Structure 1
């Protein structure tokens, strides 16, 4: 089923921060933030076993398990099975380092086979306290986690997770499946397959105001031709576009800080909040069905919703284009 027929709106909630990404977040902060999201009408929630070794799913489940199941759309991911035993050494998260150092200590088994896919879904349902997932993403079969070995992981998923998820979709157990990655190449390969065929994809960090040119070259034209929808993850580029200092989950390098400064200078001149520019840019492409910023403070929810509604003058987008700060191939709000 097409994503735009499943998703309840253009903005959802990404729960990676609830897994204690970057810092330990109190249960009270998490509860208040999730309550704010629900109270302000957010009805699409995305999670993953990886986020804090199941912590984000557990915390999300404390809210959603108390709500009528038909009133929200829920996605999670496969590729990681959370074990009861405690991790004895450091986690291997590729170039993401100690992203969830403050999460649960449970050992994470990285496995995209058919058997592990079914176990992963069962584990997610238990932690979330629900009876079904609407969308399942195949998580992180890309270069940033696996380096030169990523094609082997892709093949493991193609013959394992892809086939299981296609069967579950055809049986009506889930409504859609796709890839949830931080790189474009795995999605491109998946879209070239005859079968099994994904319904959509979650692309994190690769269609943002700061980083979008590569996605526009090949992936997004392919997706548009095939009528395959995209959920945009990480629209603030790990925080640098929302007043933070991180880019790609690490301290932003000088060239990124300089680029953000140039964007902000133009935004300030036009009275445009940079968060609004970031969110609305990510949604302007016809393939974009939704964007899922994360949050750990209730105030961020109203900020995101206000950013989505912000009236941005066409002249702002035109100046960004003329300054070379957005790709000439990027569709911009207002038809620029």
Structure 2
């Protein structure tokens, strides 16, 4: 099913930060942020077992389990099974390093088989306190592996998670499934399959104002041709586009900081907020169904919603193009 027919709005809420990403978020702060999202009309929520070893799902469940189930759209991910057993030492999260070092200490099993997929879904439903999911993403197939190993993991997912989720979709248990990744290659492979066929994909950090050229080369033309939709995760590039210091889950390099400053200088000259430029850029591509910025403070919800509707002059986008700060192939708002 086309994701644009499932999603209620063009903006949702990404809950990775509520898994204590980068810092320990107090429960009352997390709960207040979720309440603010609901009260201000957010009705699409994305989460994953990986986020704090189940912490984000538990916190999100504290909100959604008390709401009418037909009033929101919920997506989570498979590929990680959270155990009751406690991990001795830090979690091995591959390229994501110590991203969730402040999360729960439970052991995490990285597996994309059919059996692990079913266990993952059962665990998510329990932590979220709901009876069904709308969209399920196959999480990070390529994230933690190098060389030919990620292709082996893709094959594990193709014969395991892909088939389970395709069956659940066909049975009406879920509405759609796809890949949730921050690399374009696994989505390109999935779209090249005759079956099982994903309904869409969640691409984190790879179609942002700061980093989009690679996605425009192969993946997004394939998605246009096949009429497959994208949800953009991490639209602020791990926070660096919104005043933070992280890019790609780590401290931003000098090169990245300098490029962000060039973007900000241009935005300031036109009286444009960086959040507005970032969100509206990602949404301008016809493949994009929604963006899902994350937050850990209630005030950020209002900022994101205001950014979505901020009026940006065409001259800003034109100068952005002329300054070679965006790819020539990137669609811009207003057809600039």
The bucket for the TM-score relative to the shorter chain is over 0.9
Report the Cα offset of residue 94 of structure 1. Answer: 1.2
SS of the equivalent of 2:144 reads: helix
The runs of 5 or more residues in structure 2 that have no matched partner are: none
Shift of 1:89: 3.0
The alpha-carbon deviation at position 92 of structure 1 amounts to 1.5
Name the structure 1 match of 2:164.
Answer: 164
Residue 146 of structure 2 corresponds to which residue in structure 1? Answer: 147
DSSP 3-state at the match of 1:136: strand
Cα distance in 2 for partners of 1:238, 1:247 equals 5
Map 1:69-108 → 2, pairs under 5 A = 69-108=69-108
Looking at structure 1, the residues matched to 31 and 195 of structure 2 have their Cα atoms a distance apart, in angstroms, of: 41
Offset at residue 145 of structure 1 (A)? 1.4
Matched residue, 1:117: 117
After TM superposition, the structure 1 stretch with the greater mean CA deviation from structure 2, 326-335 or 82-91, is 82-91
| In 1, Cα distance between equivalents of 2:123 and 2:231 | 23
Contact preservation (8 Å) 2:90, 2:101 = no
Q: Tell me the residue number matched to 2:29.
A: 29
Alignment of 1:104-253 (within 5 A): 104-142=104-142, 144-148=143-147, 149-253=149-253
Q: Deviations over 1:40-62 (max 9, x none)?
A: 00000000000000000000000
TM-score of the superposition, structure 1-length normalised? 0.99
Matching residue of 1:332: 332
Alignment TM-score, normalising by the size of structure 2: 0.99
C-alpha distance in 1, partners of 2:145/2:183?
Answer: 12
1:317 aligns with 2:317: yes
**Match of residue 286 from structure 2:** 286
What is the RMSD computed on CA atoms of the aligned residues?
Answer: 0.5
Name the residue aligned to 1:17. 17
| 1:196-249 CA distance string (max 9 Å, x none) | 000000000000000000000100000011000000000000000000010001
1:88, distance to aligned residue in structure 2 (A)? 1.1
2:242·2:274 contact (CA, 8 Å) conserved in 1?
Answer: yes
1:259 aligned onto 2:259: yes
Q: Output one character per residue of 1:23-44: Cα deviation in whole Å (capped at 9) or x when no partner.
A: 0000100111000000000000
- Whole-angstrom CA distance in 2 between matches of 1:194 and 1:227: 15
Question: Which residue of structure 2 aligns with residue 307 of structure 1?
Answer: 307
Quick one: distance in 2 between partners of 1:320 and 1:78? 38
Distance in 2 (CA, whole Å) between partners of 1:294 and 1:230 is 17
Contact 2:76 2:137 survives alignment (8 Å): yes
1:90 CA displacement: 2.6
CA drift at 1:96: 1.3
SS in 1 for 2:146: helix
In the alignment, the residues of structure 1 paired with residue 157 and residue 2 of structure 2 have an alpha-carbon distance, to the nearest angstrom, of 21
Q: Distance in 2 between matches of 1:196 and 1:3?
A: 17
Q: How far apart, in 2, do the equivalents of 1:62 and 1:307 lie?
A: 27
- What is the CA deviation profile of residues 239-279 of structure 1, one whole-angstrom value per residue up to 9, with x for unaligned ones? 00000010001100000000000000100000000110000
Say which SS state the counterpart of residue 146 (structure 1) adopts: coil
CA displacement 1:271-325 (0-9 Å, x = unmatched): 0001100000000000000000000000000000000000000000000100000
Q: Does the residue aligned with 1:50 lie in a helix, a strand or coil?
A: coil
| Deviation sequence 1:164-185 (CA, Å, 0-9, x none) | 0000000000000000000000
Whole-Å separation in 2 of the counterparts to 1:262 and 1:84: 47
CA distance in 1, matches of 2:116, 2:290: 28
